Amino acid sequence: MIKGFVFDLDGVITDTARFHYQAWAKIAQDDMGITINPSVNEQLKGVSRMDSLNVILKFGHRENDFTQEQKEALATKKNDYYVELISNMTPADILPGMKNFLDELRAENYGMSLASASKNAPRILKGLKLTEYFDKIVDPASLHHGKPDPEIFAKGAELLKIKPNEAVGLEDAFAGIQSINGAGEFSVGIGDPKILNEADLNFNSTAEVSLAKIKAAYAAKHK
């Protein structure tokens, strides 16, 4: 039986990838002399702040040009700019269909937790006025490994005090689907089914997410 839902944030509840991109593009250009492009941005989805910086430095062939201290400063500068960009987020920034879906889950008393790699997740939920929907938020600083490691989604179910096979995980990134599957949870992909081909169930967009379809596919998997 499904007892709870573990959510990714970026790309599932709201679209912050564009702000991460804008912030990284500026810092990469101004402080590293690296011009990033949308394909680099794809590689940053679900990846921690410091790992994102490393991806960009590698892309620009500058991975050995900065000390750890300088890298910390670059990551902080990116975050300051990013926080400025997300400071005007409102409930209007919730992706289509997700508010209704969350209301539906709440009406049926499912546990809900957040498994986002972002240290800014609580701030974003506040802007979206969704804080009260989430019983628990995984603290990314407490994790040893990022997605695709199962740790973050395993923790998301553990915080809800439910077993992995009672949890449904929602993700828009392939690494996230791998994390959900590795944790032994039911995986729901949101996005291109060719990319998210390991998901137990896929929806093309958040607008299509349906609790009835999730229940049916979960039941089919567990019969």
Cβ atoms 150, 168 nearer than 8 A:
no
CA distances from residue 93 to 10, 61, 90, 110 in whole angstroms, order as listed:
11, 35, 6, 24
120 binds ligand BG6 (CB under 6 A): yes
| Position among 14, 48, 178, 179 found at the interface with ligand BG6 (CB under 6 A) | 48
State which residue, 46 or 150, has the beta carbon closest to ligand BG6.
46
Beta-bridge partner residues of 203: 190
172 binds ligand BG6 (CB under 6 A): no
Q: 8, 15, 172, 200: which is the annotated catalytic residue?
A: 8
Active site residue 135: no
CB atoms under 10 Å from CB of 212, counted, come to 8
Query: Which one-letter amino acid corresponds to residue 91?
Result: P
Short-list 3, 2, 5, CA closest to 153:
5
At residue 6's C-alpha, the angle toward residues 174 and 118, to 5°, is 65
Stretch that binds ligand BG6, among 28-36, 64-72, 114-122, 162-170 (CB under 6 A): 114-122
Q: Residue numbers of the site for Mg ion (CB under 5 A)?
A: 8, 10-11, 172-173
| Position among 2, 10, 177, 186 found at the interface with ligand BG6 (CB under 6 A) | 10
Active site residue 8: yes
CB of 111 to ligand BG6, least distance (A): 21
* 105-128 core/surface letters (b: 16 or more CB in 10 A; e: else): beeeebbbbbbbbbebbeebbebb
Q: Which does 172 bind (CB under 5 to 8 A by kind): Mg ion, ligand BG6, none?
A: Mg ion
Encoding tokens for residue 71? Answer: 């890298």
79 binds ligand BG6 (CB under 6 A): yes
Number of chain positions touching ligand BG6 (CB under 6 A): 16
What positions carry a catalytic annotation? 8, 10
Would you tell me which residues interact with ligand BG6 (CB under 6 A)?
A: 9-10, 20, 44-49, 52, 79, 116-120
